[in-house]
């Protein structure tokens, strides 16, 4: 078996793309999208009809509403080619707005359900800010499952699990980028700070019995992916999926529930004050969270400009 086939024995493979035409070749169970991926997709000729239809059908609505319909249109197409779930991200501009995030999550699920898609097949994706985590706590109680993204620290992960979030997406590659830039070190996969962060979170969750799923994300190379074989899920871009499919050689499981209790983690309790202080003390997590929110907001703004120009 190639490395992709072997990886699927240990881990649920997820496609990290808005390009649903490229998904089928890798037979992932789930798929994830974000504003940057959707922006990239709608600039391709094969996806312009989806954008044009969303604009045409929502001429009397705001650009934000049109984007919601566009996101759901992509989600519906993706769900036709995968057996599992799609993650659809809310506007990053709501990252510090609990009530706004709750309302947007409900709106997106309503659109999916109106299209005949069960809410169990959709994950509402939002930033793992304190406000986003509180929104997820409310939505989860309503059966609206959440994928907490832009996650860079154990504190964020603990708060998400305590809130009952369905899934978290710790960003391996962006953590790696920060440490590589700040130290000048070319980390091996086993020493990679992003990889180590996910291992620490996975072992903590399994040791203390949290049901929240861990999905490593934002990979820069296949070495990072293989070091996390055994993680609940890994969301991988099409180019790295192809590299795994093209590569032979035995891979071994690196993470398992059986080994987690020996990881030496100590139970941590976080309220809002402790959460905010710990996040502030972590320079990498603070900078990457802020940067990620700004970048997603910028790409949403570009998408709004495209839509406005089509009206």
Give CB contacts under 8 A, 24+ apart, made by 96-99. Answer: 96/129, 96/131, 97/131, 98/131, 98/132, 98/134, 98/135, 98/138, 99/135
Is 125 designated active site? yes
> Could you read off the pLDDT of 160-190 as tens digits, one per residue?
999 999 999 999 999 999 999 999 999 999 9
Tens of pLDDT, residue by residue, the chain (311 residues): 999 999 999 999 999 999 988 898 899 999 999 999 999 999 999 999 999 999 999 999 999 999 999 999 999 999 999 999 999 999 999 999 999 999 999 999 999 999 999 999 999 999 999 999 999 999 999 999 999 999 999 999 999 999 999 999 999 999 999 999 999 999 999 999 999 999 999 999 999 999 999 999 999 999 999 999 999 999 999 999 999 999 999 999 999 999 887 767 789 999 999 999 999 999 999 999 999 999 999 999 999 999 999 98
Catalytic-role residue among 104, 125, 207, 254: 125
Q: Which domains are assigned to the chain? A: 3-309 (3.20.20.70)
Q: CA 99, CA 92: separation in Å to the nearest integer? A: 14
């Amino acid at each position: 078996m190639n490395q992709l086939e072997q990886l699927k024995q240990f881990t649920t493979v997820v496609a990290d793309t808005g390009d649903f035409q490229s998904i089928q070749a890798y037979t992932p169970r789930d798929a994830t999208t974000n504003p940057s991926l959707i922006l990239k997709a709608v600039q391709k000729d094969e996806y312009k009809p989806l954008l044009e239809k969303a604009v045409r059908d929502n001429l009397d609505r705001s650009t934000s509403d049109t984007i919601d319909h566009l996101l759901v249109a992509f989600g519906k197409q993706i769900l036709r080619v995968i057996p599992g779930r799609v993650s659809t991200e809310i506007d990053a501009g709501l990252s510090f707005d609990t009530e706004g995030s709750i309302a947007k999550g409900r709106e997106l699920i309503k659109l999916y359900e109106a299209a005949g898609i069960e809410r169990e097949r959709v994950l509402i994706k939002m930033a793992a800010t304190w406000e986003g985590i509180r929104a997820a706590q409310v939505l989860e109680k309503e059966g609206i499952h959440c994928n907490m993204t832009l996650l860079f620290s154990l504190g964020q992960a603990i708060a998400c699990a305590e809130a009952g979030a369905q899934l978290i997406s710790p960003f391996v590659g962006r953590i790696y980028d920060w440490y590589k830039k700040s130290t000048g070190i070319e980390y091996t996969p086993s020493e990679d700070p992003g990889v180590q962060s996910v291992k620490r979170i996975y072992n903590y969750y399994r040791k203390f019995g949290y049901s929240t799923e861990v999905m490593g994300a934002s990979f820069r190379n296949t070495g990072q992916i293989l070091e996390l074989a055994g993680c609940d899920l890994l969301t991988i871009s099409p180019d790295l999926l192809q590299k795994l499919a093209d590569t032979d050689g035995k891979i071994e499981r690196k993470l398992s529930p059986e080994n987690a209790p020996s990881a030496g983690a100590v139970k941590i309790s976080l309220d809002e004050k402790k959460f905010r202080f710990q996040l502030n003390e972590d320079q990498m997590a603070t900078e990457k969270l802020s940067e990620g929110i700004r970048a997603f907001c910028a790409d949403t703004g570009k998408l709004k400009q495209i839509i406005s120009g089509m009206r």
